[in-house]
Amino acid sequence: MGQAKEVKVYTTSTCPYCKKTKAFLDENNVSYENYDVGTDEAKRNEMMDKSGQMGVPVLDIGGKIIIGFDKDAIKEALGL
């Protein structure tokens, strides 16, 4: 049950759904890289290129882009 997929989470410090997303990943022992797109312009541009929009959170799970805190899509992408 090893996690082979790289997980990137694009968030802002004030976003409640970003906090819920990270808490959900933590509860499921999923390691991830967190990028604050409120302060990191390069990562904000990367997120916009991947998702085509500005809303957060955006997750990149092994290349699958999930916009928003969609628990079912996150579970499916992670194989949980």
Mind listing the pLDDT tens digit for each residue in 20-42?
999 999 999 999 999 999 999 99
Domain annotation covers residue 61: yes
The answer as to whether 31 is a domain residue is yes
pLDDT tens figures, 37-76:
999 999 999 999 999 999 999 999 999 999 999 999 999 9
**Domain ranges, residue 63:** 7-78
Q: Please, is 34 exposed, middle or buried when counting C-beta atoms within 10 Å of its C-beta (0-12, 13-18, 19+)?
A: middle
Domain-located, residue 1? no
Query: What pLDDT, on a 0 to 100 scale, did the predictor assign at position 48?
Result: 97
How many domains are there within the chain?
1
pTM (2 d.p.) = 0.92
How many other C-beta atoms are found inside a 10 Å radius of the C-beta of residue 18? 23
